[in-house]
Amino acid sequence: MTDATSAGAAPRPARSSSILEQDARTRKRNAAESRFKMYGIAAIGIGIFFLCVLLFAIVRNGIPAFTQTFITAEIALPGDRLDKTGNRDPEEMAKVSTFGYKPVIVDGLVRALEDAGIEIPFEDKADVEKMISAAAPAQVRDTVLANPELVGQTVEFRFLASSRVDGYEKGRVTRGDLARDKNLDAEHLDVVDAMKDAGMLERTFNWDFIFGADASESRPEQAGIGVAMLGSFFMMLVVLALALPIGVAASIYLEEFAPKNRWTDLIEVNISNLAAVPSIVFGILGLAVFIQIAHLPQSAPLVGGLVLTLMTLPTVIISTRASLKAVPPSIRDAALGVGASKMQSTFHHVLPLAMPGILTGTIIGLAQALGETAPLLLIGMVGYIASNYPDGVVSGFMDPNSAMPAQIYEWAKRADPAYYERAWGGIIILLCFLMTMNIIAIILRRRFERRW
């Protein structure tokens, strides 16, 4: 131990003797320090900036989807055209197709415009139909068939305006755009302005967007997300009914009972890998196993739910195991100490204590499944027009349907830009659901979180 003495007292290096003044090197180092800190702040700033841009884009582009322009007009329903036999028999009247109703509407609309003193600037008066949705004839026909006594009277109808008129009202379509558009001319817009002044045209909240069904490519003004929402709902039921019990059972086994051996090691590695497998691969699995081999119906929420269950299972297992692990061993020892079996100690004591954590994890897994799109594309939950509500629980599971994210994707792919607005609007609804689920999860966690 003579090293120290042999080295002797080293000369003190040149360094500012007072700690009250910073020497040049310290100043330089402090500058580097603040630069480094700035990088961090900048990184966070960029992240938050992206988040704001994203949210702004969603809200700005999506909000218009929740309102819709309507045209109100009194339409005369002439008996000679709609009910030739005259005995008001709905079966007979059903022979007149929507095609036969079109001129009736055109006539009524032209009359209404003339009554309101609005000049019709285009040569072919039938062009007024371009301003209302292609869904209008069906709407009038359905009303007439439901109430045959209306024939011969003049009835007030509230028609959806066509998507171009709606876009003009929302500022999406400008006169300049219409120069290249076959669906509407700039002259129509003069009529639209006049109708607005006359109170025939108004923009109101559009419940049909939230609860309605999807419409064909040419009628974006009519499309709604309601049916797809129901499809998502049935899928989530399947996921909840399968992923929660299977996930909890698997976690209990792995955490409480599994011996430490190769097999359980394999299961563990396998689960953490499954959690990172791309979701599209689960779609391929679903396609091959459930549709190719098991011949389950394509596009059915049941199949979608099964695929999403397999995808969510690792998430549920991982979070359940974490909450089981968080229950201290003393609880288990206490139960075993009074003579309970291991199974009793697990089901009577450990599981109830871990329940809030398990539910939180399950809700987060469900939220993840609700937003997932890629696997659904492969099992055919896209490209299908979800125009009908399922007529019962069984058909809800088995009949072809879409799901919210798949419906949004479908809209995003359609050529008409009016559908983009719907897609953004759909995203707002989807995010509302996700936010609700996450808030419930956070509340559960806050409310029941226990620190041991």
Q: Which of residues 295-334 bind another protein (CB under 8 A)?
A: 295, 310, 313-314, 317
State yes or no: residue 395 binds another protein (CB under 8 A). no
In the complex, minimum distance from the CB of residue 242 to another protein, in angstroms, rounded to a whole number: 9
* Residue with Cβ nearer another protein (5 or 87): 5
* Residue with Cβ nearer another protein (48 or 76): 48
In the complex, minimum distance from the CB of residue 47 to another protein, in angstroms, rounded to a whole number: 5
Q: Which residues are within 8 A (CB) of 202 and not within 5 positions of it... i.e. 6 or more apart?
A: 69, 70, 72, 196
Q: Is 119 buried (19+), middle (13-18) or exposed (0-12) by CB count in 10 A?
A: exposed
Q: Which amino acid is at 106?
A: V
In the complex, minimum distance from the CB of residue 1 to another protein, in angstroms, rounded to a whole number: 5
State yes or no: residue 367 binds another protein (CB under 8 A). yes
**CA geometry: angle 440, 445, 447, nearest 5 deg:** 90
Residues from 86 through 115 that contact another protein (CB under 8 A): none
Q: Which amino acid is at 195?
A: M
Q: Which residues are within 8 A (CB) of 98 and not within 5 positions of it... i.e. 6 or more apart?
A: 137, 138, 141
440-449: which pairs have CB atoms within 8 A and are 24 or more residues apart?
A: 440/363, 441/359, 441/360, 441/363, 441/364, 441/367, 444/356, 444/359, 444/360, 444/363, 445/356, 445/357, 445/360, 447/356, 448/355, 448/356, 449/356
State yes or no: residue 182 binds another protein (CB under 8 A). no
| Cα gap 66→230, rounded to integer Å | 19
State yes or no: residue 274 binds another protein (CB under 8 A). yes
In the complex, minimum distance from the CB of residue 90 to another protein, in angstroms, rounded to a whole number: 23
Task: Dig out the tokens for 20 from the structure.
Answer: 């009250």
The answer to whether 432 and 370 have CB atoms below 8 angstroms apart is no
Cβ count within 10 A of residue 273: 10
In the complex, minimum distance from the CB of residue 296 to another protein, in angstroms, rounded to a whole number: 11
Give the total of residues touching another protein (CB under 8 A): 108
State yes or no: residue 37 binds another protein (CB under 8 A). yes
Stretch touching another protein by CB under 8 A, among 46-54, 64-72, 115-123, 224-232 = 46-54
State yes or no: residue 21 binds another protein (CB under 8 A). yes
* Residue with Cβ nearer another protein (84 or 413): 413
State yes or no: residue 32 binds another protein (CB under 8 A). yes
* Residue with Cβ nearer another protein (19 or 146): 19
State yes or no: residue 122 binds another protein (CB under 8 A). no
Given candidates 59, 94, 241, 266, which one binds another protein under the rule CB under 8 A? 266
The answer to whether 257 and 342 have CB atoms below 8 angstroms apart is yes
State yes or no: residue 252 binds another protein (CB under 8 A). yes
State yes or no: residue 439 binds another protein (CB under 8 A). no
Rg (CA), the chain: 33
DSSP assignments along 74-134, one per residue: EEE--HHHH-SS-S--HHHHTTS-HHHHHHHHHHHHHHHHHHTT----SS-GGGGGGGB-T
State yes or no: residue 341 binds another protein (CB under 8 A). yes
The answer to whether 76 and 156 have CB atoms below 8 angstroms apart is no
Helix (H, G, I), strand (E, B) or coil at 451: coil
Given candidates 232, 373, 401, 402, which one binds another protein under the rule CB under 8 A? 373
| Cα gap 374→314, rounded to integer Å | 18
Stretch touching another protein by CB under 8 A, among 36-44, 134-142, 147-155, 322-330 = 36-44
* Residue with Cβ nearer another protein (94 or 288): 288
Stretch touching another protein by CB under 8 A, among 68-76, 157-165, 233-241, 244-252 = 244-252
Residues from 55 through 84 that contact another protein (CB under 8 A): 57-58, 61
| Cα gap 329→69, rounded to integer Å | 63
* Residue with Cβ nearer another protein (85 or 388): 388
Given candidates 16, 85, 97, 388, which one binds another protein under the rule CB under 8 A? 16
Binding mask 397-426 for another protein (x = CB under 8 A): --------x--xx--x-------x--xx--
Task: Dig out the tokens for 359 from the structure.
Answer: 């539910």
State yes or no: residue 43 binds another protein (CB under 8 A). yes
